[in-house]
Amino acid sequence: MTGAGTDSTRPAREGGPAIILVRPQLAVNIGMCARAMANFGLNDLRLVSPREGWPRTGAYRKGAYAAAAGAVHLLEKAKLYDSVEAAVADLNFIYAATARERGQAKPVFLPRAAMAESAARIGGGEKHGVLFGPERTGLDNDDVALADAILTFPVNPAYASLNLAQAVLLTGYEHFSAAHGQIAPFDTLERSPPAQREMVLSFFEFLEGHLEESGFFRPVSKRPVMQRNLRNMFHRMNLTQQDVRTWWGMIVRLLEGPREKPQTRKRVKQKTAE
């Protein structure tokens, strides 16, 4: 199952730190972590002693693959380890993601600073990883002791517990932003060029002429102010040529009434019903 925005014809970005899920408990969370990784170009998923084993089978496999929403390639390439030590053996620098202070005198980083540093050092050839603990308990102190630094998130102190996939998502977002910049993947498509001032002024003359005939500019002494306010309202819209044509057409229709007489429309409806 894939979601809106998935496009396999476009080049995929890959790299970043390894995402190491330590003793994950739920298959669906592993799948959601894979989806979060794919969103931000992370492609190294490592699993340490999943509670139900790996690869998943039966309903567990179905749940994980459904939650991955098209990122099943990461599940299929996931590396399985018996210990955290084995999972981090090839890495140069490791963050331990935790919501609690562990008293281990390690430097503490928020994701933005941590991933900016990682992106630069990974670009220089280093291999980095982030440890995420079991859903219920998080990493234990021995897991944290293997890391070089703590990664934590600026959250509501009264409710600091993040879903496992949410933590991976936030980490991936900050790494992707640091590595590739915060550039929108698409921009507004301009379907009509900006209206020339001659076109806009002609529209104003048309509109104001009919408003004058209808007695809109009253009292007469306030006409100049009302006219300026009206024009400035339209100027703030940054009118395109299509905008002007649409406004003009709407006003013409209001002035001239329906294109067909109501009786004609009724006859057409009657014939259609017959």
Tokens of 107: 């430097």
Q: What is the pLDDT of residues 156-214, one digit of tens each?
A: 988 888 899 999 999 999 999 999 888 776 677 777 899 999 999 999 999 999 999 99
The percentage of residues in the chain with a pLDDT greater than 70, rounded to a whole number, is: 89
Task: Kindly indicate the confidence band of residue 267, based on its pLDDT and cuts at 50, 70 and 90.
Answer: low
Give the residue-averaged pLDDT of 144-149: 95
Residue 2 lies in a domain: no
Rounded to an integer, the average pLDDT of 125-142 is 94
Q: Which two tokens stand for residue 261?
A: 């007489």
Tell me the whole-structure pTM to 2 decimals: 0.70
45 with 168, same domain? yes
Q: 44 φ, ψ to 5°?
A: -115, 95
pLDDT at site 269: 57
pLDDT at 240: 93
- Per-residue tokens: 179: 């590595």
What token pair was written down for 167?
A: 């933590």
Q: Are residues 176 and 202 in the same domain?
A: no
Look at residue 89 and tell me if it is in a domain.
yes
CATH number at residue 91: 3.40.1280.10
| 93 plus 208 within the same structural domain | no
Residue ranges making up the domain that contains 72: 18-180
The mean per-residue pLDDT over the stretch 120-147 comes to: 94
Domain boundary among 112, 147, 180: 180
In a domain? residue 243: yes
> What is the pLDDT averaged over residues 58-78?
86
Predicted pLDDT of residue 263: 63
Q: Six-digit token pair at 271?
A: 């014939």
Q: Are residues 37 and 73 in the same domain?
A: yes
pLDDT in the model for residue 30: 93
User: Are 113 and 209 in a shared domain?
Assistant: no
Domain count, the chain: 2
Task: Give the pLDDT confidence score for residue 64 in this predicted structure.
Answer: 86
**What does the pLDDT average to over 242-263?**
87
Q: Are residues 169 and 211 in the same domain?
A: no
Q: What is the DSSP letter of 21?
A: E
Query: Is residue 34 domain-shared with residue 169, that is, in the same domain?
Result: yes
Say whether both 72 and 105 belong to one domain.
yes
Question: Which runs of consecutive H residues, i.e. helices, occur in the chain?
Answer: 27-39, 58-68, 72-77, 84-87, 111-123, 141-145, 164-180, 197-213, 223-235, 241-256, 262-273
Q: What Å distances lie between residue 252 and 180, 192, 219, 234, 259, CA to CA? A: 50, 21, 25, 17, 11
Residues near 171 by beta carbon (within 8 Å), at least 6 away in sequence: 17, 19, 97, 111, 115, 130, 151
Q: Determine the pLDDT at residue 8.
A: 61
Residues 260 and 233 in one domain: yes
Give the end of a domain, one of 134, 154, 180.
180
**CA nearest to 45, candidates 135, 126, 122, 130:** 130
Query: Among 127, 145, 180, where does a domain finish?
Result: 180
Q: 1 pLDDT band (50/70/90 cuts)?
A: very low
How far apart are the C-alpha atoms of 237 and 110, rounded to whole Å? 41
Better-predicted residue by pLDDT, 108 or 102 = 108
Confidence class for position 271, pLDDT limits 50, 70, 90: low
Give residue 158's pLDDT.
86
Same domain, 256 and 147: no
pLDDT at position 2 over 70: no
Distance CA 233, CA 98 (A): 52
Q: Are 170 and 203 found together in one domain?
A: no
pLDDT for residue 11 is more than 70: no
For residues 136 and 209, membership in a common domain is answered with no
Mean pLDDT computed over 141-162 = 92
pLDDT for res 42: 96
